[in-house]
């Protein structure tokens, strides 16, 4: 194998403990309609040590600053219970032709606004980046990870996501 052929097969890795600008922009809570279909996998460990995965859409993720990610979960979700117990999770996704894995340590955010209301019954967590990694190779482009399309109720879903992001922004700003 020639040097140029070998370099084409080399795994490129980027390690980070702060969101790169492109990811901070992805999770900034804007342009939700343009980002429909983006899916991240949140992997937690339950009380029995089993790895559990929750799929999150762009309307459930918000980067409040360069080191954190706020998420909104339904309180009955296994991931919400697991985060309340052990506070650690990994978020994986495909973006910009790379595979990302981000290790986060979470805390629960206050869930009641000044009027005593919650945002649709969601529980919110803020995760601090412990370590993040992007991987890509030159010979193969990742074109997507897990993706989805919204069918009926697309407008209602986008409105709910907008409300969720606004709520995440509010509770993230208070903590």
pLDDT on residue 99: 96
pLDDT on residue 141: 81
Residue 72, class by beta-carbon neighbours within 10 Å (0-12 exposed, 13-18 middle, 19+ buried)?
A: buried
The answer to whether residue 3 sits within a structural domain is: no
pLDDT on residue 71: 96
The answer to whether residue 34 sits within a structural domain is: yes
User: CA 52, CA 93: separation in Å to the nearest integer?
Assistant: 15
The answer to whether residue 80 sits within a structural domain is: yes
pLDDT on residue 115: 42
The answer to whether residue 4 sits within a structural domain is: no
- Domain around 141: 11-174
The answer to whether residue 6 sits within a structural domain is: no
Q: Is 88 helix (H, G, I), strand (E, B) or coil?
A: strand
pLDDT on residue 114: 44
For 46-67, letters b (16+ CB in 10 Å) and e give eeeeeebebebbbbbbbbbeee
What is the CA angle 111-166-52, rounded to 5? 60
The answer to whether residue 138 sits within a structural domain is: yes
pLDDT on residue 153: 84
Residues 6+ apart with CB under 8 A from 33: 158
The answer to whether residue 1 sits within a structural domain is: no
How many folded domains does the chain comprise?
1
* CATH number of the domain where residue 119 is located: 2.30.110.10
pLDDT on residue 59: 95
Task: Provide block-wise average pLDDT over 10 residues at a time, the chain (175 residues).
Answer: 59 95 96 95 92 94 96 91 93 95 94 52 93 91 84 88 90 80
Asked if residues 106 and 82 have their Cβ atoms less than 8 Å apart, the reply is no
């Amino acid at each position: 194998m020639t040097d140029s052929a070998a370099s084409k097969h080399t795994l490129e890795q980027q390690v980070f403990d702060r969101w790169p600008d492109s990811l901070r922009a992805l999770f900034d809570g804007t342009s939700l309609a343009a980002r429909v279909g983006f899916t991240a996998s949140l992997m937690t460990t339950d009380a029995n040590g089993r790895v559990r995965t929750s799929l999150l859409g762009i309307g459930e993720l918000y980067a409040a600053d360069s080191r954190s990610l706020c998420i909104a979960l339904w309180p009955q979700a296994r991931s919400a219970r697991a985060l309340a117990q052990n506070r650690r999770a990994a978020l994986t996704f495909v973006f910009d032709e790379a595979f990302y894995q981000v290790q986060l340590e979470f805390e629960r955010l206050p869930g009641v606004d000044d009027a005593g209301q919650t945002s649709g019954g969601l529980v919110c967590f803020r995760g601090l980046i412990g370590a993040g990694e992007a991987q890509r190779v030159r010979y193969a482009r990742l074109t997507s990870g897990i993706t989805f399309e919204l069918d009926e109720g697309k407008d209602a879903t986008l409105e709910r996501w907008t409300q969720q992001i606004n709520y995440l922004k509010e509770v993230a700003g208070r903590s």
